[in-house]
């Protein structure tokens, strides 16, 4: 089925899927190396100022992925996927209309 001949609802679903896939990929690349950085403190090392900033950035990226992890971990959570899609899309609309507001 080509994108050119697909109905608008299918096209919107495919676009949303592609957008979310790209978002997940961006966030996952941000948290690459999180575990070795966390283990440095446990292994007796100390974090430098730069490492602390990197750790904060990685934890923020990880927090953005938490809705996806909830859906993957909870039993029967695949039934929540439409609600998750609605919620994520609703948040995206709020950001687009009010760029000064942080959610």
The domain in which residue 29 lies consists of 3-97
pLDDT average, residue stretch 29-39: 84
- Separation between Cα atoms, residue 11 and residue 53, nearest integer Å: 40
In a domain, 69, yes or no: yes
In a domain, 102, yes or no: no
In a domain, 61, yes or no: yes
The verdict on pTM exceeding 0.85 is no
In a domain, 14, yes or no: yes
DSSP state of 74: S
Mean pLDDT (the chain, rounded): 77
Split into its structural domains, the chain has a count of 1
CA 26 from chain centre, in angstroms, equals 8
In a domain, 44, yes or no: yes
- Separation between Cα atoms, residue 37 and residue 57, nearest integer Å: 12
Output phi, psi for 9, to 5 deg: -65, -40
- Separation between Cα atoms, residue 57 and residue 30, nearest integer Å: 8
pLDDT band at 99 (very low <50, low <70, confident <90, very high): low
């Amino acid at each position: 089925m080509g994108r050119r001949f697909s109905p608008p609802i299918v096209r919107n679903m495919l676009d949303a899927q592609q957008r979310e896939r790209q978002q997940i990929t961006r966030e996952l690349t941000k948290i690459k190396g999180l575990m070795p950085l966390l283990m440095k403190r446990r292994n007796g090392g100390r974090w430098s100022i730069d490492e602390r900033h990197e750790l904060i950035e990685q934890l923020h990226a990880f927090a953005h992925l938490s809705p996806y992890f909830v859906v993957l971990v909870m039993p029967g959570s695949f039934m929540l996927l439409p609600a998750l899609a609605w919620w994520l899309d609703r948040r995206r609309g709020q950001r687009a209309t009010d760029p000064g507001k942080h959610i």
